[in-house]
Structure 1
């Protein structure tokens, strides 16, 4: 507790009224220690340090929030779907806490507006939104404990966004679907990835996906991972009838 008090010096609403009001609107309750929440939005580029000279930013809170989010969603699914086996529950949890979904949640709450950074906010990648959402969950846990953490996730994630039937049909990785089908059918597959910037100012990557000896799909994106996923999605829809019959 002594260590935490050195890092998180309590602040009152009067010291930072705008931030306090913003947090109340996002959280749905009053925070007790604003300093913890400020850390949840502190980017490493701000180069802030605690009284002992240790770097402080939202990354450790992000780690904590990721664990809390996974635990609370797991508990919800365990209670909500009593017939679900371990594999089913794991897949459903992955859909709820996918990076894409967390980014959408962060955007919905406009969390980036609270980020303190020396980098212009329009230079951040998409994942900043999900990262600070997880960091915020971690801050709630440190400030208020598990019950408030669960309350927030119910309020902001489960109640407005989690529909079991809809999630059952939601695909989070076309690449995984394609690979699983190829392995099941004992078909060889190959992703050929190469840099293909063309006339684009930002570096792009191109992917060619072959199944057997046949080129099935091609795609381009700003990262190898995105290009492979995009090519996999095109391959999935091209082979959808075959995949659904097998």
Structure 2
């Protein structure tokens, strides 16, 4: 409170009062170094040159992503006392995922302040969420960790997020990954790596996702379903954040398609039939029989068209993969764990 009074006094002597007031409405406090906040809203498509280098919000986004993870983990840990690690991790993920951050950014009016080119905006469905992360990075540099936590608790979570309801919301990462693979004609497999037991003799499963024969995410859980969800979640994060992984699976996919074309160049009808059959595969594999994991459905399709705009494909894939659903799955045969 006392700090805000001092900032209000300083504001009387500043020329750009409107900018400070605009940020105050969003943050609940006045910026000390407003240039950092302005940079947080500067998309790379509208970079400016300063001191011999281009300035945009990418570095602040990197910092804000890490700070946001820490702050939300702190809040969730204290809010849900006694809950196990898997529950806390999933709840944090639901808060910090791009779709949620996009919605929050729009609700607080951040989308109207971002500087970007019109052409670029159509290819970046997570621009608002990225700017929100950059804003958190700016808050950390300007005011420190405690203010970041205040901002998330008082300005974001209390007015916009119901943590109890959000924690119960089922986000089916496996279905989203399979949808992404079917849409973009990628081969996706869920492989059981090992089955062990913990100190209480509860079964523990470890699953790895393989995309186009390239190892992707891994996950552990007290059921095969839980380990698959964790592995799918990690894979979706790699699709979103790992350009090298994207390049590798695209290269493997192209090589597979080329080999198939050389092996049977005239079987257009068969190719179309395979593609049509793959597109009608159910999104969810059979989860009811725990022993059916080894016969997991493998999405295997043959592409029938060439894609030239790789950025468009990745943007569409990300949007499909991370769009939240209200699905609730049942798994009567899953191993029950008492926490």
TM-score (norm 1): 0.71
1:145 aligned residue: 144
2:199 aligned residue: none
2:135 aligned residue: 136
Structure 1 counterpart of 2:317, from 218, 224, 232:
224
1:40 aligned residue: 40
CA distance in 2, matches of 1:22, 1:229: 30
1:88 aligned residue: 87
Partner of 1:55, secondary structure, is strand
Q: Is the 8 A contact 1:65 1:136 kept in 2?
A: yes
CA deviations over 1:162-195 (Å, ceiling 9, x no partner): 4343123212334258865457441412335677
2:112 aligned residue: 113
2:298 aligned residue: 190
CA gap of 1:227–1:159, structure 2 versus 1, over 3 A, is closer
CA gap of 1:60–1:173, structure 2 versus 1, over 3 A, is farther
CA gap of 1:229–1:124, structure 2 versus 1, over 3 A, is closer
1:17 aligned residue: 17
CA distance in 1, matches of 2:296, 2:302: 20
2:230 aligned residue: none
CA deviations over 1:24-46 (Å, ceiling 9, x no partner): 10001111111111100111122
CA deviations over 1:6-26 (Å, ceiling 9, x no partner): xxxxx9973423322210100
CA deviations over 1:110-149 (Å, ceiling 9, x no partner): 2122122344586353301101111101101111111211
Paired residues for 1:27-66 under 5 Å: 27-51=27-51, 53-66=52-65
Q: Gaps (5+ residues) in structure 1?
A: 1-10, 198-202, 206-220
Q: Is the 8 A contact 2:64 2:138 kept in 1?
A: yes
Q: Is the 8 A contact 2:99 2:322 kept in 1?
A: no
Question: Which structure has the bigger radius of gyration?
Answer: 2
Q: Is the 8 A contact 1:98 1:172 kept in 2?
A: no
CA distance in 2, matches of 1:133, 1:229: 17
CA gap of 1:222–1:140, structure 2 versus 1, over 3 A, is closer
2:66 aligned residue: 67
When the two chains are superposed, the root-mean-square deviation of aligned CA atoms in Å is 3.5
Partner of 2:103, secondary structure, is helix
Q: Gaps (5+ residues) in structure 2?
A: 1-10, 179-189, 191-223, 226-284, 306-310, 334-339
